[in-house]
Chain A
Amino acid sequence: MSHAKPRVFIFGRGGDSVGLDPAHEEDGESFKVCESIYDTLVQYQDDSTEIEPALAESWETSADGLTWTFRLRRNVDFHDGTSFDADAVLFSLNRQHDANHPFHEVGGPYIYWTDSGLAETVDQISRIDDYTIQITLTRPYAPFIYALTIPAFAIVSPTALKKSGEDFTNHPVGTGPFSFVRWDRNEKIVLKANKDYWGGAPGVDLLVFRAIPENSVRLIELQNGSIQAMEFPNPDDLPLIRQDPDLNIIEQAGMNVGYLAMNMDKQPFGNHKVRQAINHAINKNQIIEQLYQGLGIPAKNPIPPNMWSYDQTTEAYTYNPDLAKQLLRQAGYANGFKVTLWALPVPRPYIPNGRMLAEAIQSDLKRISIETEIVSPEWGTYLEKTKNGEHDMAMLGWSADFADPDNFLYYLLSKSSAKKPAGNIAFYRSDEMQSILDQARTETDTTIRAQLYRQAQALFQKDVPWVPLAHAKQIVIARKNVRDLTLHPISFKYLRHVKIKAD
């Protein structure tokens, strides 16, 4: 930063990061920054959800799927000058896995290590030589390699973490394209380009993440040119943004699903025909069109279209109130019934406005004589009570942690997740579904797995425990002179390629 003016890219976002010690983080705002500072063993390709090498140059699996051997990249340094090697990988992962590790207690819980299933499937992580490590599993776990892309499993500098301890979260050191400069809490995080990055130096000198909580103010900052890109505009501002000659809207299909779960533990939702009727009664396309302002696509499967194994051929339930009424009559509910409809109290990526969505659904259901009472307690209570099955119908959703259908289907629809507090809040208990999902989890051949997941989608379509609602797109608004900003369905690593064209 001596003579020439540094090329600065300021990214405006709604909130600050919670922490920058990746192993403990679980929120998008933290991972967004972590992905610029750290690398994982494997990562997604820039333009797809296929896996490519990162800190691991290559890897192989034993025939039984239990032993994974990773060969590590050489001549890579952490930002503090220490070298990356097998010991650093062991330190970063064993710290999460092994309760007896001397640095296990530093920080809080390892939320993703538990959540992603690695805590129970990983047996041992061991060193073969300076640049080779081996991970053995207790049972074959097909999503394993995808799970390793989660930013929480990034490789941290052991030297730096030992030095900073609890404070590592404020002084992060990794091998990534940017190194940490400073963090003014709830204002901004400043990162500097790592010119020696193994993947090539980034396109800007400084990357700044600014917290600008108010959506409309963030947009004005962008229009004034004091920031170069931003996320989460007000949907109402989109028409204005489209007309602005200085701004570009960059879109990408997200990997998420918003759904309406029907609690099958409660009548009348145990009745198959009732669930079908409700699927026919909701004018999904029109509701999505109005509520998502072009940033959502109607869902027909429980997994999003950009997830591998997505079944294009699934026939969506059409909007047909007459057929819905007929199905209700056949089910013995010609005069309808009265149930509670739980509306999301907070905006989530997959459902931007739960209250309005609930009102639209309410009026559609009224047409087939189903009376609904909208319930919308605050978020903590909402999660607690829906996970304990107190609702009749409730909306909820999921954003992918990694690009594997298991990440959606097992948690949301397997019989084993119908145990309270449940991930499967439809309390859909199908032995057939469970056996398909179990099989797909242990099978290592991706072609066979994809077939199994298509079976799961067909079964879902037949049993309809939910009304699948929408897949939301993600967008970023950038100034016209910003180049090479393309979003990725899951990862935030795209910021490393960003460039600014000189005016």
Chain B
Amino acid sequence: MKDDLMTFLVGGEAGHGVKKAGSVAAGIFAGMGRNIFQMDDYQSLIRGGHNFSVISTAMDEITSHYMKADLSVALDAGSYRMHREHLAEDGIMVFNSDQVKDGQGLGIPMTAEANKYARPDLILGVGAVVALACGLGWDREKTGQVIGEVYPGGAEDNVAYAGRIYGLVEGRLKGRFALRSGERRRTVLSGNQAIGLGALAAGLDTYLAYPMTPASPLLHFLAEQAEEFGIVVMHPESEVAVANIAVGAAAAGARTMVGTSGGGLALMDEALSLAGMTETPLLCILGSRPGPATGVPTYTEQGDLKFAMNKGHGEYPRIVASPGHIEEAYRLAAQLLDLAWQFQTPAIMITEKHLAESRMTVELDLKEAVWAGALMHREGTYGRYRDAEEGISPLLFPPSAEIIKWNSYEHDQSGITTERAETVARMHDKRFRKGESLVRRMKEMRTVNVYGQSGPLIFTYGSSTMSVLEALRLLGADARVVQPIYLEPLPVWDLEKYLGSAPVVVEQSRAGQFASLLREKLDMEPAAVIRRYDGRPFEPAELARQIEEVI
């Protein structure tokens, strides 16, 4: 068991300020110098339903939330029923006694108290934060002061409500959770924020997206930062427009990124193929959620791996990678923007709702984000598709005295349409040589993460990596965890030593797409494939049991 682990959970209806309370709680722990992982479980609706936010905190590294809460606050009856079973051994449930009669735990009349104020729904979340603050041993004054700062809208009401709730929970909760503190406050980032920052650090000029969960927060974040960083952020009429506008912007010289989920990526398909043919650099962020079709919009899954690896009709070099940690999302966004530009081809970052929308404490070395560069034309007559040795034709952007022709038809070296057999084959070869150059470059890069020295072999990728690592911490078991960061091209040169092995595979896919990829590319026959596909991320204690059963 992890030392000093604590989990706080708050549940309620949409509109009760559940997510906000979760984020404030995460901020409190991070302010104490502790590590946190926050997972928000919310539904695709604006009011009603059931939302919860769960934050686990520890002094040492933590890469997942736990579902067993030490302090659980149920703002409504639904949350009480749902989270009763999620209580840790010595955990306590604070519930809304106006909605739950004869509940177990500490019932307080949250609704009756809230109804005394102007915004009785939104204010409920404040009470959850107060319960935590009191549990951490804060006195009434400090609690009120902090509530005023983090809930500035209607601060007076919020502070007054906080005082009332404090009085009601003080007797049972005060100082119940004596947690250690670190020396300095820590930074909390969501996956989407990390991706946005990585792209900004790499030189992003333009971001285009149509709203789609779980990538929308990336659009909101970059739209908010657009003026500060002098970048263009636009929300056009559809994902089809997004991708084609993006291609145009890149052809004019702008480092361009788009973001969406599976359905939106399906609409971008033709434009990704266009980027492949015209050799336009483009980075696409795929925030995956359970499909097919509209699926389960606000939940998580890794069901789009092969979809992403095969985007766009026709044959051209593709780059697909997936970060296994929020810190890695920062580095990888920059690296993929760079690779897209170096090799003038589309790159896709697959992430999942579980990484994109979860938040955790990070230590970012900002300089680890590379600055996206490209081979530029220097002098002489320009040909957009000059057949160079590495397959990479230098770039040139208008205005220029030279003629620059980008072409979606097969073309000759100057960019003029061709149907000549010899040229068609030669241009295919040129683009494929670019793919070979890409592999040579990737061989100099870190393309696979390996955790642990000995013990059973576990293969995983993407956000499942965080779950596996936390489950192993909980187990205290030795294992070697192999996480390919790059999936297309799959870095077989770094994975050769595992050829023919029989690892345990962990992924969030019904079909076991990642296991299938390993079978195909590395001749592996997994000893077991642990899959979860109910839209919920792995829970470390449950996953630990599953791993224990098969290793």
B partners with A: no
Spell out A's residues near B (CB within 8 Å): none
Q: What is B's interface to A at a CB cutoff of 8 Å?
A: none
